Chain A
Amino acid sequence: SRRLRRMAASQPGFLTLKPSSDPTDLVGGRRKRVNKNKKKNWNKFSDITDVEEFLEDVRHQERTTGGLLSEKSDDSLFFVDLGQTDKAEQNAEPDEGKKRKGKSTRPLRIDLILQGDSFIPPPKDVLAYQKPNAKKLRRIAQKAEQLAAKGVVPRAQKKLLNRRLADRTVKKAVAEANNNPDRDYYDMWAQKSKSPADPWCVLQTGKQQVKRPKKLNQKPSALPAVEVIAPGGSYNPDFLSHQALLQEAHEVEVKKKKQEDKLEKQLAVNREDKATAETALREEVEGLIEDEEDEETSPNKEDEEASGAAITVTEKKTERQRKKEKAEKRKEQQQLSVKRQTVQQQQLFQLRSIKAAIKQQEQQAKKRWSKRKEKQEAQKAQPRRLGKLKFQAPDLEVQLRDELAGSLRQLKPEGSILKDRFKSLQKRNLIEPRERAKFRRKLKVKYVEKRAFKEIT
């Protein structure tokens, strides 16, 4: 350490900034004896403060002045103080004051603090300028340049480009709403339908594509999608067809009225149930006047009941009775079998009539079958019961003779097509008839009379 100190001090033109550090002081101190054959002790007990101080000083100088002071020329270190520049400074100050008002000229204090004040330029990062495999890369780049000049796009780039394009289209499709008025269509039925499942998909997922059940392709009703109104529904109808339509509408109304009347009749109070003066009086006197006849009949009834109970008990059969019954039974069976045989024999002669009967039966069965079939066919065009509610046929659109417009300009359309379409869907069993959901309040409403209101009432 001493050597180091000496070396530093002996350097030419070395100026220390701290005057207190005198080499002689260090020599005069008391020494502690330590073994020097161990590296640990070297680190621990060798005194390097002076070296560090020196180096720190060098660094300080370099930082603050940009080099060692000893190496600097005198001109750069000193200047001659003439003391005449005061006026110039005074002139400059107000200008600065004006400038201060402008925000843009002066940097922020925070920026100033953060600004580095060192004169040492940052070390050059050599690695930043070096590239691994530079030669190889250069060669590759050269080749790519050549290819580009020829117009060949490298494979990776091509792949990227392709992917980017695909991505774009997919994204667009996703973002586009189904009811976008500018959406585009394509030829859906152009490519022949491939095998039921896409082979790629099958390979990947191991699953077959799900088939649509065949029953779904059947229409749920035989009715046509658009039922054309009867010729009487023309805006300027032929007289008779108009009458026919009116008749039809009339019949519908009559049917409705009949049903309503029936309901009313059923709901009406029966005339016999109504109280009259007579019945009211009888009710009042009920129980006060006793009927004598009732008393007479009642004991008889009790007797009958008693006798009925007695009959149920039966006596045991004797041996003889049993034998007799058995014999009778056997005889009866014999008679029956004989009869059956004779009948069978007789049937041989009835063959023709039997055949006729069978034929008739078959015919009847056939007739019934065809009738049933017919009914089923008719049912196909009928609306089915698909839910809680039955299908309610919409009112017929009819205009009376005086409602009919003379010309197309004055025509007043009847009914709503929206409703017609909706009912048609219901009629064809595509949707079930429903009622509009009723609004139900979940929480009770609490009524409170306000004071002002209370005062009035």
Chain B
Amino acid sequence: MGGLQKKKFERGAATNYITRNSARKKLQLSLPDFRRLCILKGVYPHEPKHKKKVNKGSTAPRTFYLLKDIRFLLHEPVVHKFREYKIFVRKLKRAYGKTEWSAVERLKENKPTYKLDHIVKERYPTFIDALRDIDDALCMCFLFSTFARTGKCHVQTIQLCRRLTVEWMNYVITSRALRKVFLSIKGIYYQAEVMGQLITWLVPYQFSHDHPTDVDYRVMATFTEMYTTLLGFINFKLYHSLNLVYPPKMDIQAESELKEEFEEDYAMNSESYTEKLSALSGSLARVVSTEEEEEGKLDQFPAEGEDVEKMEAREKEQKQLEAQKKLFDGLKIFLNREVPRESLAFIIRCFGGQVSWDKSVSIGSTFDVTDETITHQIVDRPNFDKQYINRYYVQPQWVYDCVNAKILLPVEDYFLGVTLPPHLSPFVEEKEGDYVPPEKLRIMALQRGEKPAQEQEEDEEEGEEDDDEEEEEGDDDEVDEEEKAEEKNLKKMEEQKSQGKSLQVKVTPGKVKAENPARLEQEEKAEEKRLAIMMMKKKEKYLYDKIMFGKKRKVREANKLAAKRKAHDDAEKTKKKKARK
């Protein structure tokens, strides 16, 4: 046919992509600079669908970028700054080589710098956009702020990161936004709710650094550079949303409280203020000093049918949240020197508690150990002698578990020397029919306001064991009975679950008459359901059976796990007994 011969790789995918090296050449940047630019601008490599078409027939693995992105990068003013910096380095090197110290001095004075403000604005056109992307920024800043100042990265960067993280923590404290905490073997996970966004971040434990060799520090530093800028602007906005002064200032009251005689012992004069801020023990100053907080109530709308239920549920949630926010209100907690101070102080202050520590641990302590009004003292060492009667001595896990359970858990399980209950992850949300560890069940019962019966029995059991060893047979019987009862319970639960109902384990003791209508209603409902099942079409019935089977299987698996757990617990118990003997 007529027309020119079509040439290969001149249209389609091949023209949409550009290899990294050619992109670099187009921008006239060195590879590290190019990489930095891409990270700052949020331009990431892209894997084409048909590599062979893009790579001009070759299948060699290459890094590709979208050509449009690279064209966009060409307009970035920071590129010029990068070139300027390159030239600056060259001049500086030359001056050093020629030992022209005055030239070195002058060059250093005029070192080219650049700002990333416009890039932040461009990448996050609205505040909410920025807030959604803050997880990474927080992780990175917290990580960098714990680095030793050994030259792995700029000291200034570390300082800036520290400042920003302290500002963030102070904001979370003032807005009481923290929701979940999880102590993992890696680090501490926090989750906060800021302006309706759930924000999760990971904080390393103190002094836990070994510098891995297979991490590109330059790349990480570039990310951090971007993120510090972002976090700073977000902090500013957040502080202003709460009418707080930015950069943060201590309340006058708090400031006077924290005045100490020997401040110079802790930090230099120039640093003591920031150190005090980072102690997290004082409240922040507001632009308009209004002490009483406005209680924002949900607007009431007349609603019908399902909406009413939803509204009620929402209201309930709101109430729960309010209660959680005031979890530690009125508690005075003293931290011993062996517990992680910053994390605990942060959490306790987040939920309204007062916190202090020994003067020699850190700056910013507000009261002494000898204070009689202290309600809890957090201790994490096996033997601890000097004790006050009017305060609880608990292990640090109590604080974390209280936060996750949203109630003040009984302190007995967390006393000194007691084996702690497991620290459960608050980030796991069990669906209906999943296996729920017994500890969580207990906490759920406590949340509902019940005093778990099992625990009492256990206590009794232990008491008996202490009293007499001969009575063991009886104990065993008891245990057997318990098991039987539990099995019955489980069976019941299974049945209920198989009928697709949520578990409403409400125990209303001693009212026989009140129960009857409820039961009748229930029976009626069950009857209705059975009839509905009978009336189903064959196809629907098949589907229904399948779903029910799946549910049953889940329940069975959960039961299996529960049995396993029971067996494990029993084994542990017997072991303990033997050890005691």
Contacts and interface: CB of A to CB of B under 8 A. Distances in A.
Interface of A: 173-181, 183-189, 193, 210, 212-213, 215-216, 220, 224-226, 228-231, 233-241, 384-388, 397-399, 406-409, 411, 413-422, 425, 429-432, 434, 436
Contacts of A414: 185-186
A206 B428 CA distance: 56
B384 interface: no
Query: Which of B66, B163, B211, B422 has the largest number of chain A CB atoms within 10 A?
Result: B422
Of A187, A188, A212, most buried by chain B (CB within 10 Å of CB) is A188
B135 A233 contact: no
Contacts of B214: 419, 436
A179 to B, nearest CB: 5
A259 B254 CA distance: 62
Interface residues of B, number: 101
A411 B216 CA distance: 28
Task: With a 10 A CB-CB cut-off, give which of A175, A186, A231 has the most chain B CB atoms.
Answer: A231
Interface in B182-227: 182-187, 189, 200-202, 204-205, 208-216, 219-220, 223, 225
A239 B235 CA distance: 40
Interface string B228-249: 1100110111001000001100
Contact of A228 (B35, B121, B200): B200
18 contacts: A178-B114, A178-B115, A179-B157, A220-B44, A225-B133, A225-B200, A233-B185, A234-B422, A235-B183, A236-B423, A240-B435, A399-B185, A407-B420, A416-B212, A417-B143, A419-B214, A421-B143, A431-B35
B523 to A, nearest CB: 36
A385 B54 CA distance: 14
B156 interface: yes
B135 A225 contact: yes
A162 B69 CA distance: 40
B339 interface: yes
Given A178-B116, A183-B232, A409 B338 contact: yes
A422 B224 CA distance: 12
A187 B114 contact: no
B139 A225 contact: yes
Given A188-B233, A240-B561, 17 more contacts: A173-B115, A225-B133, A228-B184, A231-B425, A234-B185, A236-B423, A238-B439, A385-B47, A386-B45, A413-B208, A417-B187, A417-B202, A420-B202, A421-B139, A430-B39, A431-B44, A432-B45
Q: Which of A189, A233, A407, A420 has most B Cβ within 10 Å?
A: A189
A402 to B, nearest CB: 14
A184 B232 CA distance: 8
A453 B154 CA distance: 46
Contacts of A189: 121, 126-127, 130, 233, 237
Interface in B34-88: 35, 39, 42-47, 61-63, 66, 68-69, 72, 75
B69 A216 contact: yes
Contacts of A415: 185-186
B206 to A, nearest CB: 10
A387 B44 CA distance: 12
Given A233-B184, A234-B182, A416-B210, A216 B72 contact: yes
B122 interface: yes
Interface in B154-176: 154, 156-157, 159-160, 162-163
Contact of B156 (A180, A229, A413, A431): A180
A374 to B, nearest CB: 18
A154 B268 CA distance: 47
A239 B422 contact: yes
A154 to B, nearest CB: 34
B140 interface: yes
B564 interface: yes
B500 interface: no
B215 A229 contact: no
A422 B220 contact: yes
B63 A386 contact: yes
A188 B117 contact: yes
Contacts of A387: 45, 61-63
A188 B233 CA distance: 7
A387 B48 CA distance: 11
Contact of A185 (B45, B232, B420, B422): B232
Given A224-B135, A231-B425, A183 B160 contact: yes
Given A240-B437, A430-B44, A409 B215 contact: no
B212 A418 contact: yes
Nearest to A407: B380
Contacts of B159: 181
